[in-house]
Structure formats: structure tokens, C-alpha cells
């Protein structure tokens, strides 16, 4: 019974297996890569590639002074931004939210 079923549907089974394999490759291997179009669009940028959702901190340092903007989520899942400044003469303190 299974032999005749497999023989009748071998092409459909093969197409389904190829589609599953290609879908798995695209999901697990290729999903994190930067596309050629995206790389061409970013050639003149300071950074070759980055994802905005993955950036959580922006730190600016100059002659011992440090300014940091940090992204945190609130209870509702919205992004909130906090700024912190410190220098050798002033201790680190929490400033206002942005």
C-alpha cells in the first residue's frame, strides 16, 4: 500500500522536501545576513551594517567626560530612553528621560 502511494506521489514528495529544506536554510542560515541591496545602500555610512532594534546604548566619551543614552523597555513594552552623564569632576548621575 505505502509503496504504491510513494510511487504515485514521488514528485510531489520531492518538491515538498526541497521546499522544506530551502525554507529551513533561509530561516536558520541566511536570515541574519545583510543583503546585497542593503550593503550597497550603506556603503557611505559610518557603519557597514547594524540593526536599530539591536542597539541599546549610545556612549559618547571626550577627555574623561561620558554621556550615555540607554534604551529600556517599560511594562507595556514601549521603548524608553534614559540619559546619564559623568565626568572626573562630577560624579555619575541620572539625568532626565528623553
Most confident of 26-30, 42-46, 87-91: 26-30
Written in H, E and C, the secondary structure of the chain is: CHHHHHHHCHHHHHHHHHHHHHHHHHHHCCCCCCCHHHHHHCCCCCCCCCCHHHCCEEEEEECCEEEEEEEEECCCCCEEEEEEEECCCCCCEEEEEC
CA atoms within 13 Å, Cβ hemisphere of 69? 8
Is residue 89 predicted with pLDDT exceeding 70? no
Share of the chain above pLDDT 70, in %: 85
Q: What is the pLDDT of residue 26?
A: 86
Give the tens place of pLDDT for each residue, 30-75: 777 777 887 787 777 777 667 777 788 888 888 888 899 888 877 7
Q: Work out the mean pLDDT of the chain and round it to a whole number.
A: 80
> What pLDDT is attached to residue 18?
96
Amino acid at each position: 500500500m505505502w509503496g504504491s502511494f510513494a510511487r504515485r506521489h514521488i514528485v510531489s514528495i520531492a518538491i515538498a522536501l526541497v521546499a522544506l529544506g530551502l525554507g529551513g536554510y533561509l530561516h536558520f542560515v541566511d536570515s541574519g545576513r545583510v543583503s546585497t541591496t542593503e550593503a550597497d545602500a550603506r556603503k557611505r555610512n559610518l557603519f557597514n551594517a547594524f540593526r536599530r532594534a539591536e542597539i541599546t546604548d549610545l556612549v559618547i566619551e571626550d577627555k574623561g567626560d561620558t554621556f550615555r543614552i540607554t534604551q529600556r523597555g517599560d511594562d507595556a513594552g514601549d521603548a524608553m530612553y534614559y540619559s546619564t552623564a559623568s565626568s572626573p569632576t562630577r560624579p555619575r548621575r541620572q539625568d532626565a528621560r528623553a
